[in-house]
Amino acid sequence: MARKIVIANLKGGVGKTNVCINLAMFLTALGKRVLLIDLSPQGDASFSLGINASPNFIGDVLLQKIRPQVAIKSTSYFGFDVMPSFSGLDSAINNLRNVKRPELRLKKAIENLEEDYDFIIIDTPPEFDLLILNALYSADELIIPIQAEYLAMRSAKQLLDLIQKRNIKIKKISALITMYGWRSKISRNISKTARDDLSINVLNSIIPRATILAQTGESKEPILKVSPNSRAARAYRQLAEEVVGK
Ligand SMILES: Nc1ncnc2c1ncn2[C@@H]1O[C@H](COP(=O)(O)OP(=O)(O)OP(=O)(O)O)[C@@H](O)[C@H]1O
Ligand SMILES: [Mg+2]
């Protein structure tokens, strides 16, 4: 049975996609079978992994036009599978508004994939919409990346409130501090405030702000390959181990 982990925060640019790709990669390096689902209309994760637009994609899966297996691409270079997203996901989701329980489409779609993977990681957009709801209703676990600044913390709280209001059952919710600057006072305060104020677990692993992480998207070179012993790679290795429960 796959563990389904959603990476979400209602704030943009906090490192959600970066966490998804690198967590998927380092879990794969630990020998786990991983599927990354890109549930973001921008398709940043898919683009970063060098996947070109193709006719069968997650939009068609949510519309129940194709079987989910058809939309899965393998990324031999990175070693994990991806269900990519391309432009068109927005209009697909608009077509779902009038169906019954549209927020459960993803959950149903991935039920049949559970035996094929150890982890299903889901990347989400920063707006509270039907896409993020689909992700949350599919989730066993939620990791909320919190960029080391106060607005990201506020959006994390808003997301937690929405989950509570809608009574969405998620077994485990954790915060992950990202883009941490060891020399930054704000970073140190956020890390402490997150631990003190959020009523959820804060992961011990902390993702540093690192140029090499910002570059991997463009160069399509995984950090595991170009700089396996960098602080950033060590942080993501530690995160993968923490998630696995080592
Ligand atoms: N730890 C990091 N250190 C430095 N740069 C980072 C780090 N994580 C992400 N970035 C860069 O910051 C930007 C935002 O990151 P990312 O796209 O992962 O955020 P996001 O939360 O997915 O954004 P969106 O809400 O738009 O989907 C990107 O340019 C990315 O390369
Ligand atoms: Mg993103």
Query: How many domains does one find in the chain?
Result: 1
Q: For all residues of the chain together, what is the average pLDDT?
A: 91
All residue ranges of the chain with pLDDT < 50 are: none
Ligand 1 close to Cβ of residue 18 (< 6 A): yes
Work out which ligand 1 atom sits closest to the CA atom of 20: 18
Residue 221 CA, ligand 2 centroid: distance in Å = 18
CB of 22 closer than 6 angstroms to any ligand 1 atom: no
Ligand 2 centroid – CA 57 distance (Å): 17
CATH of the domain at 96: 3.40.50.300
Q: Closest by alpha carbon to 8, among 212, 146, 195, 119?
A: 146
Cα(82)–Cα(160) distance, integer angstroms:
27
- 210 CA to middle of ligand 2, Å? 17
pLDDT score at 216: 58
The pLDDT, as a whole number, for residue 218 is: 56
Measured CA distances, 46 to 21, 36, 87 (Å)? 9, 9, 11
For residue 133, give the nearest of 157, 111, 103, 108 by alpha carbon.
103
Confidence (pTM): 0.96
Provide CB contacts within 8 A for 77, sequence distance 6+: 50, 222
Contacts of 165 (CB under 8 A, 6+ apart): none
Output the six-digit token pair for 150: 């106060």
Pocket lining: 38 vs ligand 1, CB cutoff 6 Å:
no
Condensed to tens digits (0 to 9), the pLDDT of residues 166-210 reads: 999 999 999 999 999 988 888 878 877 887 888 888 999 999 999
Mutate to test the pocket of ligand 1, among 9, 10, 18 (most ligand atoms within 8 A of CB): 18
Q: What pLDDT is attached to residue 206? A: 94
Domain membership of residue 233 as a residue range: 3-244
14 Cα–ligand 2 center, Å: 8
Tokens 């809608």, located at residue = 166
